[in-house]
Amino acid sequence: NHPPQQQQPFQQQLMLPLPPPPQNPAQPATTSAPTSGPSLEDLVKQMAANNLQFQQRTDSSIQTLQTQIGQLATSMNAMQQAQGSNQLPAQTVVNPNVPNSNVSAISLRS
């Protein structure tokens, strides 16, 4: 058995003694010496410019990928319509970009 604890109001439970204020003597305000590097404002401007360039390159890359995916979808649709089914053609198809390529393939059937 524990002796009953007195319930203190909530605000009194949270009150802790404050540490004493620092004992610094009054010092005159000093300005920091100029640094040899770029200012904070210049760094922020440079970072914003770099961020904008990155975003523009990313947007351009996404646009290129969307165009290429659209071209692939168009090619796949044309191949499916030529075959009349959802299967890839069993016969070879000449690569329109490299008509005289020396690549061979063998298809095995079971």
Cβ-count burial 16-53 (b if 16+ within 10 Å, e if not) = eeeeeeeeeeeeeeeeeeeeeeeeeeeeeeeeeeeeee
- Two structure tokens written together for 6: 């007195």
Q: What is the pLDDT of residues 46-89, one digit of tens each?
A: 999 999 999 999 999 999 999 999 999 998 888 777 766 655 55
74 within domain boundaries:
yes
Task: Say what the pLDDT of residue 69 is.
Answer: 96
Number of domains comprising the chain? 1
Q: Is the pLDDT of residue 21 over 80?
A: no
Q: Give percent of the chain above pLDDT 90.
A: 33
78 or 18: which leads in pLDDT: 78
Range of the domain at 102: 10-108
Q: Are 66 and 53 in contact (CB under 8 A)?
A: no
Q: Are 82 and 89 in contact (CB under 8 A)?
A: yes
19 within domain boundaries:
yes
Q: Is the pLDDT of residue 110 over 90?
A: no
**Position 31 confidence tier, pLDDT thresholds 50, 70, 90:** low
44 within domain boundaries:
yes
The span from the CA of 7 to the CA of 89, in Å, is 84
What one-character-per-residue DSSP string does 78-93 give?
Answer: HHHHHHTSSS--SS--
